[in-house]
Structure 1
Amino acid sequence: MIAASQKLSEWVGGLRFGDLPQDVVTATRLRIVDVIGLSIAGGQRPFGESVRRAAADLHPGTEARIWGGKARSSMLGAAFANGALSQALEFDDTHNESIVHMSSPAVAAALALGDRLRSGGRDAILAVAIGNEISCRVGSLAPGQFHKRGFHPSGLFAPFGVSWLAAKMQSLDQRQMICAAGITGSFAAGLIQCWVDGTQSKFLHPGWAAQSGIAAATLAKAGVTGPGEVLEGRFGLYASHLQDSAVVPDWNRLTEALGDEWESRNASFKPFPAAHVIHPYISALLRLRERHGLSEDQIHKIRCDVAPYIVGIVCEPQDEKLHPLSDSHGRVSLQYTLAEALVRGRLGKDAYQPEFLRDEAILSLTRRVDYRVDGTLPGPEQFKGVISVELTDGTILQEVEEHNRGSAENPMTTEEIVAKFRENVAGTLSADQAERLVDAALALDRFDDVSRFTELTVTDHD
């Protein structure tokens, strides 16, 4: 049997920009817009300030830009910082089935490499498309199995996508690409113990993935070797992290119809800065709020019917979900998130502020949100939400969101994604600068030097 890394490397080595379907090119340009906006927004948070300070200490240099300021860093430092900042609001796109945040590390890595190598825009788009596709496919072999084992899929799977992305941009040969993937297996990580106490380490995972993938490709180019069966081998990624003979990865998902069927098409943009599996419930509840003019004092109880796999992600343990200690805690709480959305009428960049986390009106409603497990609901391939609101007068209101907003089946428009970008960069970029950056991103394939594009993210802020 031909090893998976060899098949993937053959595909990556032969792929050209002209081979990309137009819809993949269009989506990739929008993902670049989205990630840059999210990273700039993340830089406005205390977490972002800490990451910027650490990057300056850990990665002195001037090879690449950290977006939304005038700071520069080494290539690895910029990839790490921009990747980490882009997840600070839990607002970055997700491949539904694997729950991999694939674009944050891919865009951060490709543009940092592009700054250093003076790559063309087409090379950057191609690289991001490659990284996203491989991250999605690697994560799709055993969906739903990793969160419950304490692993963040983005930390486990995205480094592999970035390693092939970086290998492509650095013109590695097939043997070197295989070694780069093998080396990446030593970097794959992603523990989510931070969910227990609401700390911030999960936000670092896209940064680690971006940095690790580039490092692995660079090491392989220099002659360091890595195992050829890092995914399917006896001590490979799946054997080591699943450790369950009852779970058999679907290896066909990894390489079947490469280039013909793009798994990244099944990734969703995020209209809300919260765990993606909560999104259909937010949309359903906000529709009920608008349709019936609901306020928190009219509500006796909110019940959510949920698929079994999301319980340990956003519903339990109850004490953590009902009393979030921080914004990162709140973003993965179904109960709190729905309460804040209903009380405030929106869930945007400014959500989960400390004053909201202590607001008694929100916390009181949080305690009135319950869930019921429904085994007939779809798995992670379709984020569906079923919600029932019981009013104090006994009226029952029900709403269903079949597919989360931002998915292929219920897409956000280009205008909505650009509006999200504008909101995220407000306070850092001027309105004129934001428009120039959007226009440039949507025409990135015409740039002969990516560094001319990333210059548009520079401001007088530090």
Structure 2
Amino acid sequence: MNQHRALSEDTVAGRLAAFAVSAAPPPAAEAVSRRLLLDISGLAFAARHETYTSAARASAAGTGPCTAIGHAQGLNLYDAALVNGTAAHGEDYDDTFEGGPVHAGVVVVPAALAIAQHRGLDGTAVMRAIAIGAELMSRLSLVAPQAIHKAGFHPTAVIGAMAAAASVGAAIGLDRARLANALGIAGSLASGIIEYLADGSWTKRLHPGAAAQAGLRAALLAEGGFIGPASVFEGGHGFFRAFAPSKPANFGPLLDGLGEDWIMPTIAFKPYACGTMTQPFIDCAIALAGQGVRAEEIVRLVCKVGEGTVHRLWEPLAAKQAVPNGYAGKFSTPFCMAVGFLDGAAGLVQFTDAQTLRPDVRALAAKISYEIDPADEYPNNFTGHLRATLTDGSVREIRQPHMRGGAREPLSDAELIAKFNANVAFGGGDAAAAEALFAAINAIAAGGPVRMGESA
């Protein structure tokens, strides 16, 4: 018989498990959970015909009762989580917790939907699972900020596996010991490197779906009696030692006020279809164009930036100024600013491969560079700045003090619904498809059946 010491309340996993078992999300958390369900569903529909979504669907092992959003053919729970997470994150238009940064909804929503349809759970279980998973994912991202990226891993991928395990464990009613084991198991299933930054390849898109899939597997293994290390988070060979070795883990932001002071209601919803930290800079670029400045008048444009953003969004600078494809453009601040300045928008259509070949975009992006600002608040606040020198010798300076769509300036319900409808339309859905999916979301949020407006 396999012996395992009794779970200690003093372990981090034990305390997180106790939270997941007993948590009662407050109204603000419930409201943001509904927003996450709406946003992720629309984004998954938007990408339903994209080649990366088709590739994810082609990898499925067979059919099942779980919905791949926007598709008539049902999948098993693991494949549905993979497809929905990959599709919803595919255009990098999904939610962000700014303190991390991590994308919580795109992991926990696919995981919660998959387990609910697999087990016949109702919307009440789904919404509680989303809130719990998003809260833990947000808090986990604060334990060693920036260090996971520094180590070459994607925080959404590795932290997401842990959050998904807690989300699914809460949904299926695991007791505290089994839920802690699920977290211990998930630590060995977590993965996801950020080498996609080198060439705009597709693996970042895969990470949330893979994390949701890992969390599902971990929770169901634990339900069956499988044992994971109790010290998965704080141990000498634990999660943060492996994925964030450059910074000592500080568990205060994770555990202090857990279950009492919810932080996931501050999750940001993106107004632009690209990397989170680029968004305030796009606002600056659009504001500059709004002053009547023409691209040909700009001699150079220098941005003050946080040092932690440079290796992902600015370097190597020459490559970021001439990106190889639209997906790489989402993680290039020069490209994002150039297309935003010229088009007055940065939606899904601005990040096709064809956009990267535009001579006007390339010419302007080549004029955009950066300098590190030691006083920048990143990652606690995402700000934007530009200083444009014009051909007449004048200088224009613009600042954006925070990310629009975040806690300081949230998108309205009307704006988020408009984004949802536009995403469904981008995915080829008509008004009836949007209405059906919207009704399904409302039914789940009200505690009803978990059906996702399946369509061909």
Q: TM-score range by the shorter chain?
A: over 0.9
> Contact between 1:343 and 1:362, CA under 8 Å: does it hold in 2?
yes
- Partners in 2 of 1:240 and 1:107 — Cα distance? 26
User: Match for 1:30 among 28, 31, 35?
Assistant: 35
User: Match for 1:182 among 163, 181, 184?
Assistant: 184
- Alignment-derived partner of residue 239 in structure 2: 237
Q: Deviations over 1:333-372 (max 9, x none)?
A: 0111111111222110112212211111110111000111
Please identify, of 202-211 and 148-157, the stretch whose mean Cα deviation from structure 2 is larger: 148-157
Q: Mapping of 1:236-255 within 5 angstroms?
A: 236-244=238-246, 247-255=247-255
- Partners in 2 of 1:259 and 1:436 — Cα distance? 34
- Partners in 2 of 1:449 and 1:359 — Cα distance? 47
- Amino acid in the other structure paired with 1:325: P
Measure how far apart 1:440 and its partner are. 4.2
- Alignment-derived partner of residue 45 in structure 1: 50
- Partners in 1 of 2:15 and 2:59 — Cα distance? 38
Measure how far apart 1:437 and its partner are. 2.6
SS of residue matched to 1:185: helix
- Amino acid in the other structure paired with 1:255: L
Measure how far apart 1:443 and its partner are. 5.0
> Contact between 1:152 and 1:191, CA under 8 Å: does it hold in 2?
yes
- Partners in 1 of 2:437 and 2:393 — Cα distance? 51
User: Match for 2:225 among 223, 226, 246?
Assistant: 223
SS of residue matched to 1:335: helix
- Partners in 1 of 2:30 and 2:331 — Cα distance? 31
- Alignment-derived partner of residue 441 in structure 1: 441
- Partners in 2 of 1:392 and 1:169 — Cα distance? 60
What is the root-mean-square deviation of aligned Cα atoms in Å? 1.4
> Contact between 2:440 and 2:450, CA under 8 Å: does it hold in 1?
no
Measure how far apart 1:439 and its partner are. 4.3
1:108 aligns with 2:101: no
> Contact between 1:418 and 1:438, CA under 8 Å: does it hold in 2?
no
SS of residue matched to 2:20: helix
How many residues align structurally? 447
Measure how far apart 1:433 and its partner are. 2.8
- Partners in 1 of 2:442 and 2:259 — Cα distance? 23
- Partners in 2 of 1:171 and 1:325 — Cα distance? 47
- Partners in 1 of 2:288 and 2:49 — Cα distance? 32
- Alignment-derived partner of residue 421 in structure 1: 420
> Contact between 1:199 and 1:326, CA under 8 Å: does it hold in 2?
no
Q: Mapping of 1:183-202 within 5 angstroms?
A: 183-202=185-204
- Partners in 2 of 1:435 and 1:399 — Cα distance? 40
Q: Mapping of 1:319-358 within 5 angstroms?
A: 319-358=318-357
Q: Mapping of 1:31-430 within 5 angstroms?
A: 31-55=36-60, 59-244=61-246, 247-290=247-290, 292-426=291-425, 427-430=427-430
- Partners in 1 of 2:114 and 2:294 — Cα distance? 46
- Partners in 2 of 1:24 and 1:84 — Cα distance? 24
SS of residue matched to 1:62: strand
- Amino acid in the other structure paired with 2:161: P
Measure how far apart 1:441 and its partner are. 2.3
Please identify, of 326-335 and 208-217, the stretch whose mean Cα deviation from structure 2 is larger: 326-335
- Partners in 2 of 1:266 and 1:339 — Cα distance? 29
Measure how far apart 1:36 and its partner are. 0.7
- Amino acid in the other structure paired with 2:158: L
- Amino acid in the other structure paired with 2:27: Q
Please identify, of 38-47 and 95-104, the stretch whose mean Cα deviation from structure 2 is larger: 38-47
- Partners in 2 of 1:409 and 1:260 — Cα distance? 22
Q: Deviations over 1:255-301 (max 9, x none)?
A: 111122112123211111111011111112112212x2333222222
- Partners in 2 of 1:61 and 1:383 — Cα distance? 42
TM-score, with length taken from structure 2: 0.95
> Contact between 2:63 and 2:73, CA under 8 Å: does it hold in 1?
no
SS of residue matched to 1:350: helix
> Contact between 1:147 and 1:153, CA under 8 Å: does it hold in 2?
yes
Identity of aligned residues (%): 28
SS of residue matched to 2:89: coil
- Amino acid in the other structure paired with 1:39: A
Q: Deviations over 1:283-324 (max 9, x none)?
A: 12112212x233322222221110111111101111321221
SS of residue matched to 2:265: helix
- Partners in 2 of 1:120 and 1:46 — Cα distance? 32
> Contact between 1:273 and 1:349, CA under 8 Å: does it hold in 2?
yes
> Contact between 2:138 and 2:264, CA under 8 Å: does it hold in 1?
yes
SS of residue matched to 1:268: coil
- Partners in 2 of 1:354 and 1:194 — Cα distance? 16
TM-score, with length taken from structure 1: 0.94
> Contact between 2:57 and 2:79, CA under 8 Å: does it hold in 1?
no
SS of residue matched to 1:434: helix
> Contact between 2:314 and 2:320, CA under 8 Å: does it hold in 1?
yes
1:5 aligns with 2:4: no
Measure how far apart 1:222 and its partner are. 0.8
Q: Deviations over 1:350-397 (max 9, x none)?
A: 122122111111101110001111101102110011112222222222
- Partners in 2 of 1:217 and 1:191 — Cα distance? 23
SS of residue matched to 2:272: coil
For structure 2, the residue ranges without an aligned partner over 5 or more in a row are: 1-8
- Partners in 2 of 1:327 and 1:50 — Cα distance? 18
- Partners in 2 of 1:442 and 1:289 — Cα distance? 39
- Amino acid in the other structure paired with 1:158: G
Measure how far apart 1:137 and its partner are. 1.1
- Partners in 1 of 2:407 and 2:326 — Cα distance? 28
- Amino acid in the other structure paired with 2:179: M
- Amino acid in the other structure paired with 1:385: G
SS of residue matched to 1:186: helix
> Contact between 1:349 and 1:423, CA under 8 Å: does it hold in 2?
no
- Partners in 2 of 1:438 and 1:399 — Cα distance? 38
